[in-house]
Chain A
Amino acid sequence: MSTDEILPEVFLTYYRRLYPFKSLFNWLNHSHQPSRLFTHREFAFTLPGDIYLRYHSFNDADDLKKEVCKLNPERFEIGPVYNAKPKDKKTMRKTALTPLQRELVFDIDMTDYDPVRLCCAKADICTRCWAFISAAVKVLHRALQEEFGFKHLMWVYSGRRGIHCWISDKDAMELTDGQRKAIVGFLTVIPGSAKGKISVRLGSRALPPSLQDALDTLKDRFMSLIINDQDLFIHKHAWESLLEHIPSSSASELRDIWSKDVAKDSADKWEDIRAQAIKSGKSGSQQRAAMQAAMEDIILQYTYPRLDAEVSKHRNHLLKAPFCIHPKTGRVCVPIDPETIDDFDPEKVPTVQQLLDELDSAASMGGEGEGGRAEHHSDWERTSLKPYVDMLDKFTTGLMNEVRREKRAADTTW
């Protein structure tokens, strides 16, 4: 598949026969009966030739499917729930349409990791750099659950080089832009500029509790990923920027050692740092603590999640819907279970072409293809898309159960 352009017919067949509109509807709507969560929700379409259509909204899943099949977009995006139907925007006063609710979303993009990976660059991704993403997911998933108390987090592969997170808890849906900005601030450690050095310490030396927990998760990953796998500090410019974190007297000693012995790999260098730390002072001394802090900072700097902050800050930011096709790779944006994310291989995600082939062979084998158009909405069950749709449905069931529980609890108070 790879770089070939995907034909419009392929998109159309995918939307007609495979895209799980019903599951998408349930997930966005939090119940089976169409509510404002769906009917007042903005959808935006990207058509071939960079044509971008905003402020669409639909009554139910069938309505959405009809329009998607009619416009046949390269992808479509999901926006906030407004105080009115976005499609009525033109009939309203200019400022009358305001966003009320929206899943809390996060976006991690591999390009932000370019300074710390050697295996690929820009848009490319391989299983080796996927380890950065899975480390990020582990940290964020824990923080969002433990610290912020969110329960319904869905992680979705973006189709090429990143991952999205959608949080559907009622509390999360109702966050204001200011509160979203606060969460992003809490979860942002690496400063925006590529060269930025982190500064996370409170007061003189303390690490905030949230980062202490993150550090515990990241320690091992730093060793396996940065030191052993990427061997990042083999080049001079890389270990020079590493030394910026280390107190100057120790740093200059290390510089002397490393300049002389260029063959030292990252593992040797990390050992050298550790040796310097032990040499710097007795356990509990100022110097020892400073070295300890420096090593912790380094681990965070190289492995802590790098968020695309702008996506999360505003309710009215649009984000690509799950199960869309990435137009360059042809891969489907499938949900991912954060528990097994370490085993996830982006290369194994089904492509649209592969799914259509599966449909064809299923039809020729079972002869069910003659069943007529009425059957089409559940065709995904006969392809390798099934486990992913099941994952979304399972997620939605959990969400709906909670909504129902809350409704019942609210009823008894009367």
Chain B
Amino acid sequence: MRALWLAFCDFTPFTRLIMERHRKPILDSTSHTSTVVEPHTAYPYRLNFYDKPPLYEVTLEEFETAALDRLRVLAEIESSAARNRTWEETKKVTETQCKKVLPLNSNTATSTDRHAERRRDHLGHFVLRLAFCRSEDLRRRFVKSETTLFRVRYDTDDTREKDAFLQSRAFNWTLVSAEEKEQYKRQLIAANQHSRDKVDERWLANEPFLKVRWTSVPDLVEKRRVFLKGGYAYVPSKERLSILLEEFQNNLAQALEMTSRSIPNLDEDSRLLPILNNLSHGFIAGVPSEWSGGSGEAAGDEIKADMIDSLAPAHFPLCMRIMHESLRKDRHIKHYGRLNYGVFLKVLGLSIEEALVFWRKSFSKFTDDEFTKRYKYNIRHSFGLEGKRQNYPAKSCQQLLTTDTPEYGCPYRHFSPENLQTALLSSYASQGLTVADLPEIMHHVKEQHYHVACTRVFEITHAKQGVQKGAGIGDGEHVTHPNEYAKRSMELSRPKTEESDKMAVD
């Protein structure tokens, strides 16, 4: 792990000295979980500017899971931005997601292991720095979503703790003196009229003002919402979040640049690179789904081979519908298509017996003998009944987005825009998707938010069941797994159309 920490630091002799001093006890230590710092002094606050890298040993598993969970939160933040969610909505969605996978309690919470939470937060952040420092685009996106996460936490933080945190760190501001306030009275009052408070002389007297270089608050400057004089901005303390965010953002951007220059040093550790590569895919392809049904076990009720023709058009996501249609059209589908579609159906609830019936019927241009010889083994293999007997899980969106065989991958990513639009219309027109919806979907595709595009299609085609824009597949979550899409779609149709579904089956 030595190389890892080197990657965070520039190599001035001074830093190196500090690092050596810190590292010594770790290297000498025999215990694997030892930390150099005392739990209580290590993370006195919930908020963290991540100025110091984690200088302690971690297990590979911790390394990966802390990062993955954080990535889930960041991915949700990115999608929120892509979907134009308001700040309040974004905050709510992010908080919910944080509670689930990345809890971070304030000092008043005595029953939780705050140190462990904060250590995990710290570690996850730094692992993701490694994963996302490699390209300009990844860096930009990482900085943006991390800054939003910081803002969410700042917003939800306890006032007293927030103040203590602000005191703990030297920010580049000075307090504006009463004389100076008096001198610029007229301008300070005029520049803050957008405030919700009544801005008058009394307000001015009570509101502390901070003086910073104007470059610390470009957002306020751009909107002319701050008084400028000689290169300094006079920021009322209620707007100090702007200063914080700008500093957070700039520090992180700089640190990422520095990390990217040191990353070649990581090559010597062959354990880390695969993990990091996998993580950086996460932003393109969404986070590996944690959908529990994806584990390889059949979820939901059992499905019969002859139900699939009616289920596919009603409930399958575009990737699987295309697979189904090409199977019906050609009465054949190549190896990876069989594999991807096969495990999808398996997890949907198709038993091995039914699967064999389904594939046998589908491959109608082959004789029984040919079928048994060429395909039966593969099908049984995917159920874990042959060879090394591994019960393969269904492919997640991430896998389909980054597959080597794009013809069986995610159509939103791999299809040309023209083909995708044709496919969308021909597949979903009967479920309420119109030409007018296409520009929005194609916009998400163009921005590379493929899972957002897919989620939007879900919302449009399930509007009849009362799914609203922004609701996603439930609680505003996005599609990260084809099976999740199908399962949710089937759940939605159940109460109302149970009868007719049964009839179709019969």
Q: Which A residues are closer than 8 A to B by beta carbons?
A: 95, 146-150, 171, 175, 178-179, 181-186, 200, 202-212
Which of A171, A179, A184, A206 meets B190, CB within 8 Å? A206
17 more A-B contacts (CB under 8 A) besides A148-B214, A148-B228?
Answer: A146-B229, A147-B229, A147-B231, A148-B231, A149-B231, A175-B215, A179-B215, A182-B219, A184-B222, A185-B221, A186-B221, A202-B191, A203-B193, A203-B194, A209-B191, A210-B224, A210-B228
- Among B191, B224, B230, find the residue whose CB has the most chain A CB atoms closer than 10 A: B224
Contacts of A179 in B (CB 8 A): 215, 218
The reply to whether the CB of B223 lies closer than 8 angstroms to some CB of chain A is yes
- Which residues of chain B are near A202, meaning CB under 8 Å? 190-194, 224-225
B215/A95 in contact, CB under 8 A: no
**Which residue in B191, B195, B221, B227 is a CB contact (below 8 Å) of A183?**
B221
Q: Is the CB of A208 within 8 A of B224?
A: yes
Residues of B within 8 A of A150 (CB): 231
Most buried by B among A178, A184, A200: A178
Indicate whether A186 sits within 8 Å of B195 (C-beta atoms), given known contacts A209-B190, A210-B228. no
Q: Is the CB of B190 within 8 A of A178?
A: no
Nearest Cβ on chain A to B6's Cβ, whole angstroms = 22
Candidates B135, B190, B222, B229; contact of A208 at CB < 8 Å: B190
- Cα A210 to Cα B187 in complex, Å, equals 8
Please pick, from A95, A149, A178, A209, the residue contacting B230 in the complex, using a CB distance under 8 A.
A149
**CA distance in complex: A224, B199 (Å):** 36
Q: Is the CB of B190 within 8 A of A212?
A: yes
- Please name 8 pairs of A and B residues whose Cβ atoms are closer than 8 Å in the assembled complex, sorted by A: A146-B229, A171-B231, A185-B221, A203-B199, A205-B193, A206-B190, A207-B190, A209-B191
The answer to whether B219 touches A186, judged by C-beta atoms less than 8 angstroms apart, is no
Within residues 156 to 211 of chain B, which ones have a CB less than 8 A from any CB in chain A? 186-187, 190-195, 199
Residues of A within 8 A of B215 (CB): 171, 175, 179
Chain A minimum-CB-distance residue to B230:
A149
B269 CB–A CB distance under 8 Å: no
Bound Cα distance A183, B223 (Å): 9
B330 on interface, CB distance cutoff 8 Å? no
A149's closest neighbor in chain B, by CB? B231
Least CB distance, A409 to chain B, in whole angstroms? 17
Q: Which residue of A lies closest to B215 (CB)?
A: A179
CA distance A186 to B215 in the complex (A): 12
For B186, what are the chain A residues with a Cβ–Cβ distance below 8 Å? 209
* Chain A residues near B232 (CB-CB < 8 A): 149
Alpha-carbon separation in the docked complex, A175 to B195 (Å): 28
Q: Does B239 contact A (CB under 8 A)?
A: no
| CB-based contact A185/B194 at 8 Å | no
CA distance in complex: A211, B224 (Å): 9
User: Beyond A209-B187, A209-B191, is A185–B223 a contact (Cβ under 8 Å)?
Assistant: yes
Q: Output the nearest chain B residue to A207 by Cβ-Cβ distance.
A: B190
Q: Which residues of B contact A207 (CB under 8 A)?
A: 190
- Is B268 located at the chain interface by the 8 A CB criterion? no
Whether, in the assembled complex, B136 has its beta carbon less than 8 Å from a beta carbon of chain A, the answer is yes
> 5 nearest interchain CB pairs?
A149-B231, A185-B222, A182-B218, A206-B193, A203-B193
Cβ A147 vs Cβ B223 within 8 A: no
- B190 proximity list for chain A (CB < 8 A): 202, 206-209, 212
Q: From B231, which residue of chain A is reached at the shortest CB distance?
A: A149
Residues of A within 8 A of B230 (CB): 146-147, 149
Q: How far is it, in angstroms, between the C-alpha of A325 and the C-alpha of B187 when the chains are bound? A: 44
Q: How far in angstroms is the closest Cβ of chain A from B265?
A: 18
Tell me the minimal C-beta distance from A44 to chain B in angstroms.
22
Q: How far is the CB of A301 from chain B (nearest CB, A)?
A: 16
**Quick check: B221 and A182 within 8 Å, CB to CB?**
yes
Q: Contacts of A148 on B, CB cut-off 8 Å? A: 214, 228, 231
Question: Which residues of A are found within 8 Å of B191, using beta-carbon distances?
Answer: 202, 208-209
**Which residues in A have their C-beta under 8 angstroms from that of B187?**
209
* Chain A minimum-CB-distance residue to B257: A98
A209 / chain B contacts, CB cutoff of 8 Å: 186-187, 190-191, 227
Residues of chain B within 8 A of A171, CB atoms compared: 215, 231
Closest to A181 in B: B222
Taken together as a complex, chains A and B put the C-alpha atoms of A111 and B296 apart, in Å, by 66
Whether A95 touches B223, Cβ cut-off 8 Å, given contacts A179-B215, A179-B218, is no
> Which residue of chain A lies nearest to B217 when distances are taken between CB atoms in the complex?
A182
Bound Cα distance from A210 to B222, whole angstroms:
12
CB-defined contacts of A204 to chain B, threshold 8 Å = 193
Q: Whose C-beta in chain B lies nearest to the C-beta of A180? A: B218
